[in-house]
């Protein structure tokens, strides 16, 4: 379990070989950790150097109090601090949901460090603030467990929930074991984020992906984000909702590989 001190945090991360291969930085979604990417790793390992990490407030990374300055800017700064601490220069960035918001911010604030972006089930603005306020209030009153069923309905399609209940329960376990302060801090960061102006300034190659049945960031919203980014491509992941890396990992890995191979060519 590698840990490193970066940007004032103790950060949990995983970095694979081979050195010298293109590095892809994976950023997790709200209520998950670096293991959310486990299902896509077999198709990518060995081809790329893969850096995964638990973002601030998640997994085994430090979880400062929710009022301690969580924002997309801060989370992007955390990612850069991790790269600096590990001596990694330029990366491809793949982010899911809030991780995709972090990726968008990195594309603008650190263009010299970002070779390309892969934005999964994300947008430049996600949900009205009232929805996030209600979620935070529910967690404060009754714990993360109280929202688990509703979140799983957005994370996975009905078919997947019926066919793979063990994976869905694993996702519940991952989410409910997220530190409350970290979950709330990042939820408020999403609530307050508006990246539309940032997206217009992204200049690197960008692929935007959405599960075709995503209820959290519907495909129309994700596609609108793709249109806001100059030259971005958009594609749907069939039979997937908000967490395609768990529901349709092979399809997602094919999209990632095809995009990155196209850049290399």
pTM of the model: 0.97
Residues contacting 26, CB < 8 A, separation 6+: 34, 37, 50, 51, 52, 53, 94, 95, 96, 99
The secondary structure of the chain as a DSSP string is --EEEETTEEEEEEEPSPTTSPEEEEEPPTT--GGGGGGGHHHHBTTBEEEEE--TTSTTS----TTTT--HHHHHHHHHHHHHHHT---EEEEEETHHHHHHHHHHHH-TTTEEEEEEES--SS-S-HHHHHHHHHHHHHH-GGGGHHHHHHHHS-HHHHHH-HHHHHHHHHHHHTS-HHHHHHHHHHHHT---HHHHTT--S-EEEEEETT-SSS-HHHHHHHHHHSTT-EEEEETT--S-HHHHSHHHHHHHHHHHHHHHH-
10-residue block means of pLDDT along the chain (265 residues)?
95 93 96 98 93 98 92 98 97 98 98 98 97 97 98 98 98 98 98 97 98 98 98 98 98 97 75
User: What is the pLDDT, as a whole number, of residue 215?
Assistant: 97
User: What is the pLDDT, as a whole number, of residue 192?
Assistant: 97
User: What is the pLDDT, as a whole number, of residue 120?
Assistant: 98
User: What is the pLDDT, as a whole number, of residue 265?
Assistant: 44
Please choose, from the candidates 82, 41, 3, the residue with its C-alpha nearest in 3D space to the C-alpha of residue 256.
41
User: What is the pLDDT, as a whole number, of residue 142?
Assistant: 98
Q: Which domains does the chain have, with CATH numbers?
A: 3-264 (3.40.50.1820)
User: What is the pLDDT, as a whole number, of residue 57?
Assistant: 98
């Amino acid at each position: 379990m590698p840990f490193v001190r970066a940007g004032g945090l103790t950060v949990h991360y995983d970095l694979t070989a081979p050195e010298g291969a293109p590095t892809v930085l994976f950023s997790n979604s709200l209520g998950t950790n670096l293991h959310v990417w486990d299902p896509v790793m077999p198709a990518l390992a060995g081809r790329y150097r893969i850096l995964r990490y638990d973002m601030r407030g998640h997994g085994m990374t430090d979880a400062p109090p929710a009022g301690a300055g969580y924002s997309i800017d801060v989370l992007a700064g955390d990612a850069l601090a991790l790269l600096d601490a590990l001596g990694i220069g330029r990366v491809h960035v793949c982010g899911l949901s809030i991780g995709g918001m972090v990726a968008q911010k990195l594309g603008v604030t650190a263009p010299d460090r970002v070779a390309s972006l892969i934005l999964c089930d994300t947008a430049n603005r996600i949900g009205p603030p009232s929805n996030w306020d209600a979620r935070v209030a529910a967690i404060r009153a009754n714990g993360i467990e109280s929202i688990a069923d509703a979140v799983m309905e957005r994370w996975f399609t009905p078919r997947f929930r019926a066919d793979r209940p063990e994976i869905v329960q694993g996702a519940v376990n991952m989410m409910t074991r997220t530190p409350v302060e970290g979950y709330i801090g990042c939820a408020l960061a999403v609530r307050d984020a508006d990246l539309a102006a940032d997206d217009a300034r992204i200049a690197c190659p960008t692929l935007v992906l959405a599960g075709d049945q995503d209820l959290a960031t519907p495909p129309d919203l994700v596609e609108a984000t793709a249109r806001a980014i100059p030259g971005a491509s958009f594609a749907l992941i069939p039979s997937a909702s908000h967490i395609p890396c768990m529901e349709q990992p092979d399809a997602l890995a094919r999209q990632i590989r095809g995009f990155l191979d196209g850049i290399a060519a």
